[in-house]
Amino acid sequence: KHSADHFSKLQSLSISSINGQMKLFVSEGNPHCLKVLAALEVTGVQCDVQYVNHEERVVPFLSRPALPALLLPSGLHLFSSNAICRYLFEIVGQDSSERCNQWLEWEATDLQPALLQALHMAVLHGKGSEVSKVLQGPLNYLEQSLSKGNTPYLTGEAVSVADVVLWAALYPVLSDSSLACERTSVKAWFDRGAVLHSCESAAQKVLQGKGLQGMKSYMQRQPAPQSSQSRDTQPCNSNPAEVSRAVSEEEMEAAALTWSKGLNSCPLAADRQHPILPHEGKRNLLVTSALPYVNNVPHLGNIIGCVLSADVFSRYGRLRGWNLLFVCGTDEYGTATENKAREEGLTPQQICDKYHAIHSSIYKWFQIDFDFFGRTTTEKQTEIAQDIFWRIHKHGFLIEDTVEQLRCEKCQRFLADRFVEGICPHCSYPEARGDQCDKCGRLINAVELREPQCKVCRQTPVVRSSKHLFLDLPKLEPQLEQWLEKSTSTGDWTANAKQITRSWLRDGLKPRCITRDLRWGTPVPHPDFKEKVFYVWFDAPIGYLSITANYTDKWEKWWKNPHQVELYNFMAKDNVPFHSVVFPCSLLGAQDNYTLVSHLIATEYLNYEDTKFSKSRGVGVFGDMAKDTGIPSDVWRFYLLYVRPEGQDSAFSWADMALKNNSELLNNLGNFINRAGMFVTKFFEGCVPAMELQQEDKKLLALVGWELQQYIQLMDKVKIRDALRHILNISRHGNQYIQVNEPWKKIKGGDTERQRAGTVTGVSVNIACLLSVMLLPYMPTVSQTIRDQLNAPQSCVNTMLQGTGTFVCSLSAGHRIGTVSPLFQKLEVDQIEALKKRFGGQQTTAQRASSTQPAAVPAAAAEVATSNGVDPEKAKQLTQAVTEQGEKVRALKAQKAEKAVITAEVAKLLDLKKQLALAEGKSSEPAPQKGKRK
């Protein structure tokens, strides 16, 4: 039926175009539609106008909806509102003049970006006051032009398309505020009758008399505009050489001075000594990652959202010399665990033990460097949770009430929210869970679900009432708001964290139930509520405290010390309300001087290829599969951090991962570091040559120093993904520097040229050393490998990231480096395709077969891995053989041996590599070789 509709629609479109008719598609609340409707009124062109939904994709070749759109008689589509207006004017005989062109171009490139930002602020953030600031530049320009031109309209005495376009563009803000008042010429132009009436009638159609608010639903669907301040990231399609920053003499001299300081003045940081406790006079950071729920294997989205992001920041913080404690652990209580235990025929505790170990090993493989990785099912948890409970109780923040709850008579138990499924009462999504709807994101009370079903046995549960305790959030709200005001303004809260928190407060807080009729949980100590346990949302965040208490008896020095300690919480955005509203309320209500969150770092979602990761549906790559791919942990970390959903959703894609590995790691970063090291080895017998800096070298030092500064500024603000770009920029600068200076040619020249080759090599290898330090938080193993290869002094690690960044010469002339070898391996297309199929494809079928058992999938994947002829022991031997053979070939080439001899040895090498690939479980098909770089 669907396709038939589609067909008849297509047919009607083509008929209308055969008849030479046009059709204009517009949507309500879309400011761009104002322009075309006004132009239609002004020109009097007859045209069929159809109102469609914002999301309607009218223009067949555009993947994002673009409205307004004009279907031309020829069947072509115009999707630019200015082009449509211009066309409407042209067909009534008013060609656009050069002046007109200029205004239209200005409107599209200068006015629109500012206008979008202004509307975004005013409509979505309620910051109407920002509008005048954002629009100041364009409006002043318009004012100047109008007063200079001294004509009633933009291009002369008569109305032109430029007037209509600008009028309609500015109508929403000018009619809604006093912006025009201060600018007399703009005001006179805007109030001039001719166009104003057409605009008003168009505005009535588009905004429905609701003013700026009429655009709300449209604006919500638009990507947030980049503010002018955040535009410091380079547009990617500009040639890096062309936009390279102009470097001043002073910057160059300053960079050269820093460079010359060397390492000696820097104290060696002591190794970490446990237990780490806050120190007076130091920056004391307590870093937590959202506690992963124990009964599932975490997927890549969980890993990047919480533990990996927190790990990168913690590693960075330690390099910065901050006194930092990073804790995490598994969240183990709740019905889900009880159920899993029933399924697997184990006790809940046994299930927790089993999965806690799985989590631990996954994080170990991903090199997550926790100071302590604990769990919530401990004595300390009971002790602390009950203490907090009694304090809240004592201060009168608990209310008693009777609750209607769903009970499955067949399963003989009350159903936890996520064990009920039904139709969402808000959006009618058929698979809404009892706690939250995956589609519209609203929180749901399980009894509100339409047609509820027990997720285990699919029976319809019955409603039973039971007495429960509620945390009185409305009573705590004033305290909460006071604290939030301070924390969000002084701390680094991500934009989504602030926004989600605000929307919670705006909707008003309601009392929240903290008790449950379950067994597997922290017992409620109150005698009237025996046989009940704490609700996980109340209990789980207390895990941060109890895990710290299991790490050190002096845990209160971290958790009851808000003046000395800054608390960083890392999580995905779905967890924000519990960390910004609910848990702080528990702690505020307990009134025991608790340390509350100072910096709330929330990621958006990471999607898997083109779909969603889903714990409950088992879609996506899981943590324990990553190591079965044969791709090193560091490369996984790099790619996940490269696509970290920072500020917007992003997606994991196998093809993209291969591309980034090959283009960024292999061709850019690895290539640079390897070349720098190889030059030292080949041309200077492994000793760093003497360096005599010239202007060009100083310029490079300044450029690198600037990237380092950016990196530090971003990392300090936990912009982990953005900071990574600056590491890659440095190696790009480095590659370019080597390419321009050609040390491999100069080394064969006279003394001056040889000296030049020495300087370029020396500077490059020092940049490689700096890169190893900057990479440490992201790729710890590669970072260490680089320093091992360069034989770099350990003190360089503590030196370079101090203050605003100090790029010093840490490998001085005469320093002997170690053995240099390639850092990264190419990911071949067929290898990646095989992985995509092996994990992605099978995943979907496995998931359909057993939707409640995502854990079964990794096991299946592991079986495939072993049955494929994979043999780690053999792989190890072969790796050694490949290395030796490779060296032999290189030696022969260096000796300029006979071609036939070399060819024979190369053939042997290729054969060995093939065998190795088989043993490692990779596909052995050779892929087309790319041109080799010098």
495 binds another protein (CB under 8 A): no
Binding mask 631-670 for another protein (x = CB under 8 A): -----------------x------x---x--xx-------
Comparing CB distances to another protein, the nearer of 646 and 920 is 646
C-alpha to C-alpha distance for 834 and 861, rounded to whole angstroms: 13
Looking at 45, 47, 108, 862, which residue binds another protein (CB under 8 A)?
108
DSSP secondary structure string for all residues of 3-70? HHHHHHHHHHHHHHHHTT--EEEE-TT-HHHHHHHHHHHHHT---EEEE--TT---STT-SS---SEE
| Token reading at 676 | 């720098």
* From candidates 34, 58, 104, 351, binder to another protein by CB under 8 A: 104
Q: What minimum distance in Å lies between the beta carbon of 148 and another protein?
A: 8
Min separation Cβ 83 and another protein, Å: 4
Stretch 775-814: interaction string toward another protein, x if CB under 8 A: ----------------------------------------
Does position 79 interact with another protein (CB under 8 A)? The reply is: yes
Residue found by looking up tokens 């770009």 in the block? 725
Cis preceding linkage at 474, omega within 30: no
Nearest residue to 42 via CA among 175, 161, 152, 126:
161
Q: How does DSSP classify residue 266?
A: S
Min CB(106)–another protein separation in Å: 6
Which of 144, 220, 230, 233 lies at the binding interface for another protein (CB under 8 A)?
233
Work out how close the CB of 844 gets to another protein at its nearest, in angstroms, rounded to a whole number: 17
Q: For residue 566, what are the β-bridge partners?
A: 285
Cα dist from 621 to 185, 283, 843, 851, whole Å: 61, 37, 8, 15
Nearer to another protein, 87 or 355 (CB): 87
Please, which of residues 39-78 interact with another protein by CB under 8 A?
60-64, 72-74, 76, 78
CA-closest candidate to residue 261, choices 814, 795, 816, 818: 795
For residue 275, whether the previous peptide bond is cis, meaning omega lies within 30 degrees of 0, is yes
Residues 892-931 that bind another protein (CB under 8 A): 928
Q: In terms of CB distance, is 378 or 496 closer to another protein?
A: 496
**Closer residue to another protein (CB): 749 or 926:** 926
Q: β-pairing, 432-433 with 420-423?
A: antiparallel
Beta bridge partners of residue 436, listed in sequence order: 443
605 binds another protein (CB under 8 A): no
CA distance 546 to 100: 69
* Using rule CB under 8 A, residue 105 touches another protein: yes
Taking CA atoms, 461 is separated from 280, 339, 430, in Å, by 56, 17, 17
* Shortest distance (Å) from residue 233 CB to another protein: 8
- Asked whether position 867 contacts another protein by CB under 8 A, the answer is no
In the complex, the smallest distance separating the C-beta of residue 11 from another protein, rounded to whole angstroms, is 19
Strands 565-572 and 599-603: parallel
Nearer to another protein among residue 17 and residue 784 (C-beta): 17
**Would you say 645 or 758 has its CB closer to another protein?**
645
Asked if residue 603 binds another protein (CB under 8 A), the reply is: no
Least distance CB 833 / another protein (angstroms): 6
The span of 96-104, 451-459, 625-633, 804-812 binding another protein (CB under 8 A) equals: 96-104
- Residue 49 or 513: the one with the smaller Cβ distance to another protein is 49
In angstroms, give the least distance from the CB of 903 to another protein: 24
Is 235 one of the binding residues for another protein (CB under 8 A)?
yes
Q: Could you tell me how many helices (H) and strands (E) the chain has, helices first?
A: 39, 21
Query: Could you give the 3-state DSSP secondary structure of residue 131?
Result: helix
Q: Does 80 bind another protein (CB under 8 A)?
A: yes
Which of 130, 696, 833, 871 is the binder for another protein (CB under 8 A)?
A: 833
Q: Which C-beta is closer to another protein: that of 233 or that of 695?
A: 233
Least Å distance between CB 84 and another protein?
7
Interface residue with another protein among 157, 242, 685, 873 (CB under 8 A) is 242
For the chain, first and last CA: distance in Å? 60
Residue 721 or 815: the one with the smaller Cβ distance to another protein is 721
Angle at 305 between CA 303 and CA 306, to 5 degrees: 70
How far apart are CB 828 and another protein at their closest, in Å?
Answer: 11
Nearer Cβ to another protein, position 101 or 614?
101
Burial (Cβ within 10 Å: 0-12, 13-18, ≥19) of residue 648 = exposed
Q: Are 807 and 258 in contact (CB under 8 A)?
A: yes
Stretch that binds another protein, among 24-32, 85-93, 119-127, 862-870 (CB under 8 A): 85-93
Closest CB 90 distance from another protein, rounded Å: 5
Q: Buried b / exposed e across 906-916, counting CB within 10 Å, b at 16+?
A: beebeebbebb
Are 618 and 854 spatial neighbours (Cβ–Cβ below 8 Å)?
yes
Contact 657, 719 (CB under 8 A): no
User: Does residue 816 sit in helix, strand or coil?
Assistant: strand
829: contact with another protein by CB under 8 A: yes
How far apart (Å, rounded) are the C-alpha atoms in residues 227 and 511? 38
Distance separating alpha carbons of residues 332 and 376, to the nearest angstrom:
6
- Indicate which single residue of 15, 91, 257, 357 sits in contact with another protein (rule: CB under 8 A): 91
Q: Considering only the stretches 106-114, 277-285, 597-605, 892-900, report the one whose residues sit in contact with another protein under the rule CB under 8 A.
A: 106-114
- The residues pairing with 413 across neighbouring beta strands, listed in sequence order, are 408
- Please report whether residue 236 would count as binding another protein according to CB under 8 A: yes
Q: Which of 714, 790 has the CB closer to another protein?
A: 714
Min dist CB 658 to another protein, Å, is 9
Strands (E), 397-444: 398-408, 413-414, 420-423, 432-433
What letter would DSSP give residue 836? I
Q: At what angle do helices 720-741 and 751-775 cross, to 10 degrees?
A: 170
3 state SS of 928:
coil
Q: Which is nearer to another protein, 76 or 463 (CB)?
A: 76
Phi, psi for residue 903 in degrees, rounded to 5: -55, -45
State the minimum distance, in angstroms, from the CB of residue 2 to another protein.
Answer: 21
Which of the stretches 100-108, 492-500, 600-608, 685-693 binds another protein when contact is defined by CB under 8 A? 100-108
Question: Distance between alpha carbon 318 and the CA centroid of its chain, in Å?
Answer: 23
Closest C-alpha to 54, from 32, 76, 28: 28
Question: Of the candidates 23, 32, 35, 86, which one interacts with another protein according to CB under 8 A?
Answer: 86
Q: Which stretch binds another protein (CB under 8 A): 82-90, 320-328, 561-569, 897-905?
A: 82-90
Using the rule CB under 8 A, is 239 a contact of another protein? yes
Number of residues that bind another protein (CB under 8 A): 43
Query: Minimum Å distance from CB 662 to another protein?
Result: 8
Calpha distance 253→703 (Å, rounded): 12
Closest CA to 65 of 207, 237, 223, 210: 223
Min dist CB 62 to another protein, Å, is 5
Judging by DSSP bridges, how do beta strands 512-513 and 462-471 pair with one another? antiparallel
Does 13 bind another protein (CB under 8 A)? Our answer is: no
CB-CB contact of 347 with 308 (8 Å): no
Q: Which is nearer to another protein, 110 or 592 (CB)?
A: 110
Which residue number, 239 or 867, has a Cβ lying nearer to another protein?
Answer: 239
Q: Which residues bind another protein (CB under 8 A)?
A: 60-64, 72-74, 76, 78-80, 82-84, 86-87, 90-91, 98, 101-102, 104-106, 108-109, 112, 233, 235-239, 242, 648, 655, 659, 662-663, 829, 833, 928
